Amino acid sequence: METTSQDRPLILLADDDETTLDLLAMHLADAGYETIRAANGIKALAQMVEYQPRIVISDWLMPKMNGLEICRALREKQGDQLIYFIMLTVQQNKEQLLEAFAAGVDDFLSKPFHQGELLARVRAGERMVRLCDSLATRGAALARANTELFQLNEKLRQLATVDDLTRLPNRRQAMSRLHELWAQALRYGGPLSCAMVDIDKFKTINDTYGHLKGDEILQNLAGVLSQTVRATDAVYRIGGEEFLIVFPQQRAEKAFISAERCRLEVESSIFTGAPGPQKSVTISAGLAQWTPQMQTLDDLLRSADQSLYAAKEQGRNRVILSPETPVPVQDLRASETPVTGGLGALTELICKRR
């Protein structure tokens, strides 16, 4: 199928000889190509900027700027689109031809030229231009596809690891992180603590005021907990009204202070979805620390969960430390943290355990 002149690339003709320009333009016009002219190198560069031709046919020897200088300047400023450069020359010296190739010349046309050879070389350049454009189009499409795939994978990752309601990391992410920290604790013997956190009487709130209010409270609580814990700690929603706080590299006495701080912050916060004039809710938490006697990660989580159950049994709105967790008194005395209600409660718990 023949291509129309509108489909064919624009060709720039650069030569200081008017007769040569007329002859080139005539032959190319007969073959359906549109051309523009430049009588010297300076004008040729200006024409390239203005019209952006895809093929250049330039004489080697011209005043002000020769063909090699035009080609070098073109290659320095060339963007993503290929510009095919054909040099008109009477040069037969191999060293000069090699110099021209090094400057970026794509092909040569000897003077005096033959019409058939002219059109053959121009058509070869046209094929090269179209091939490069096609590759660029495919490359752009591939880049877009890769971007879309990356975005899709990111969405899938978030669906797999982020709780949709609270935007906290979910149970899957919590277990993944805990397995990493568990392995570190086993290898290096470092501390690891975690706390199971539950909203007090949440079922009553849901049954009385509806799940929309309950969802709003969950979202608010997620924000309060995330803003209260240290930057190195992490809050996860692991199901329903239950949350998990992980305290990497923290012994139980330090983690207790953090958990108690969270409890007090929740108790003093206003929850827009909460019932009653105070708009407040409370939480209970069970805290446990890894010990060498624990065989699996489930043992640590079970210890924290049992402590949470004990907190519920003892009246809610409190943090209970697992009886399995060792808390050296000297560590408490050496703590730089000011004695607060939470630390006082911890000390009281230790005394009761003794």
Which of 126, 241, 253, 260 is flagged as catalytic? 241
Taking Cα atoms as reference points, which of 230, 152, 198, 195 lies closest to residue 301?
A: 195
| 9 upstream amide cis, omega within 30 of 0 | no
Contact by Cβ (8 Å): 250, 258 = yes
- Positive or negative, the CA dihedral 20, 24, 29, 30 is positive
- Alpha carbons 50 and 10: distance in angstroms, whole number: 12
241 is catalytic: yes
Between helix 67-77 and helix 41-51 the angle, nearest 10°, is: 30
- Alpha carbons 273 and 267: distance in angstroms, whole number: 14
CA torsion, ordered 146, 147, 152, 157, to nearest 10 deg? 100
Taking Cα atoms as reference points, which of 208, 202, 210 lies closest to residue 237?
A: 202
| Parallel/antiparallel/unpaired status of strands 35-38 and 55-59 | unpaired
Catalytic residues: 241
